[in-house]
Amino acid sequence: MKTVSSPRAGPPGMDRPLRRPRFRAGRLLVAAGAVAAVAALAALVWRTLPGGADLVVRSADIVFAEVVEGPFEDALPARGVVAPLRTVQVASIEGGQVQAVLVEDGARVEAGQPLAELSNPRLRMEVVASEAQIASQLGNARAQALQIARNRLEREREIGDAGFNLQTARRELGIRSRLHASGVVSDAGLADAQSQVDYFQSRLDMLNEARRAEDRLASAQSAEIAESIDRLQSNLDGVRASLDALVIHAPASGRLTAFDLVPGQPLTAGAIVGQVDSEDAFKLVAEIDEFYLARIEPGQSAQVRIGADDWPLGVARVLPQVTAGRFRAELVFAGATPPGLRRGQTLDVRLMLGDTREALFLPTGPWLSSAGGTRAYVLDAQGRTATLRDIRTGRRSPTHVEILDGVAPGERVVTSSYDRFNARPRLVLR
């Protein structure tokens, strides 16, 4: 078999030379550019990688607000419900069964106006028996007073008779003394006349002394009898008034509400059967968050807008009982009551908690409850990271909080919730 060799082949038994591959300049440039790009990307990634204590978050998931310097109005908006300024309860003084309802619920009533009548046969029998007993005691007391007066008159009559007899005896003694001087009357006759004078004088002195003693005793007895008569008369009036109490009267003038009696309905003594609300004066009752309980006190000013006018108010009473995180405050109008108010109407009230003054402030939000108002995430100038800082807050309103220390005007603060950040010292924004 014949071997065919290539014309470019060397002599048999010798190695063929290999040609060195040639590189083009363009390929070198491309490779160098790729390496540089990778290095730049690596450096960028290295610069943006968070440290071990940092947390990477998305900017779209965070809410920011700028620290503003300006007038901070320390006012609290609230919703006030119109209520009567004065409310007087209607009670049944005596128990009984409703016999007649004289006024309907919601009617305008005047003070003392009869509202309903009750029937109570047992009470009427007790009143009759009490009247008879008191009348008997009154009769006895008046009889005693009459007897004292009679005794006094009798003593005066006796004193008058003794005085008259003494005058008569003295005239007789004078006559006999003159006759005795003329020798007509004997010594014995003159002595008899003198004895008569002495007797009637002694009797008159005795009667006067007895009258003075009786007057002292009669004065004390008369005072006791008069006091007893007054007491018995008062008891009698009270017994009769218990019958009058079977008629329920309006305790004040105003609008009768919650009055739903029906004939035949039994009532116990002291039962509340309705109330009378004032119609010429109103107050506002506002429910306020318990956070402001320590800052609301009687005397603070407020205002309410009705239509286009602002009406001044004042806090009259604070009810500190907290229910479902809220307490109540009662506000009264500082001047005239606005016309056209209706019970149950709701109005927007602004409570002035303090003076308006220049301050740094931020909007309120979830960040306050998350950090307790003591720390905040503040963005850097480039907006790439947010660092957790200690801050100090002051007054709060429902929309803004005063910043006393820790941030500067114009800085931006994260105002969304901090719960998922776990108090990391720095947030890296992506």
Residues 144-160: tens digit of each pLDDT:
878 878 888 888 888 88
Q: Both 234 and 144 in a single domain?
A: yes
Q: Both 230 and 181 in a single domain?
A: yes
Please tell me the distance from the alpha carbon of residue 354 to that of residue 253, in angstroms, as a whole number.
39
Q: Tell me how many domains the chain contains.
A: 4
Q: Considering the domain boundaries, does residue 9 fall inside one?
A: no
Q: Quick one: pLDDT band at residue 375, thresholds 50, 70, 90?
A: very high
Q: Which residue has the higher pLDDT, 385 or 245?
A: 385
Q: Considering the domain boundaries, does residue 42 fall inside one?
A: no
Boundary of a domain, candidates 317, 352, 387: 352
Boundary of a domain, candidates 352, 376, 394: 352
Give the burial string for 148-177 (b: 16+ CB within 10 Å, else e): beeeeeebeebbeebbebbeebbeebeebe
CB atoms within 10 A of CB 274: 22
Whole-number pLDDT of residue 388: 93
Whole-number pLDDT of residue 80: 92
Q: Both 116 and 251 in a single domain?
A: yes
Q: Both 108 and 254 in a single domain?
A: yes
Q: Which of 156, 153, 152, 164 is nearest to 200 (CA)?
A: 164
Q: Both 329 and 368 in a single domain?
A: no
Q: Considering the domain boundaries, does residue 14 fall inside one?
A: no
CB atoms within 10 A of CB 330: 18
Spatial CB neighbours of 222, under 8 Å, sequence gap ≥ 6: 145, 148
Strands 54-57 and 426-429: parallel
Q: Both 314 and 172 in a single domain?
A: no
Percent of the chain whose predicted confidence (pLDDT) is above 90: 32
Q: Both 172 and 237 in a single domain?
A: yes
Q: Considering the domain boundaries, does residue 305 fall inside one?
A: yes
Q: Both 162 and 221 in a single domain?
A: yes
The predicted-structure confidence for 217-229, as pLDDT tens digits, reads as follows 777 777 777 777 7
Please tell me the distance from the alpha carbon of residue 85 to that of residue 338, in angstroms, as a whole number.
13
Q: Both 227 and 141 in a single domain?
A: yes
Q: Considering the domain boundaries, does residue 255 fall inside one?
A: yes
Q: Both 113 and 252 in a single domain?
A: yes
Pick from 86-100, 205-219, 228-242 the range whose average pLDDT is largest. Answer: 86-100
Q: Is the pLDDT of residue 3 over 60?
A: no
Q: Considering the domain boundaries, does residue 375 fall inside one?
A: yes
Sign of the CA dihedral 42, 43, 44, 50? positive
Range of the domain at 269: 89-120+247-275
Q: What residues are paired with 257 via a beta bridge? A: 275
Q: Which of 282, 275, 270 is nearest to 250 (CA)?
A: 275
Q: Both 114 and 256 in a single domain?
A: yes
Q: What is the mean pLDDT of the chain?
A: 82
Q: Quick one: pLDDT band at residue 25, thresholds 50, 70, 90?
A: low
Residues 384 and 430: beta-carbon distance below 8 Å: no
Q: Considering the domain boundaries, does residue 43 fall inside one?
A: no
CATH assignment of the domain containing 255: 2.40.50.100
Q: Both 251 and 266 in a single domain?
A: yes
Residues 192 and 180: beta-carbon distance below 8 Å: no
Boundary of a domain, candidates 320, 337, 352: 352
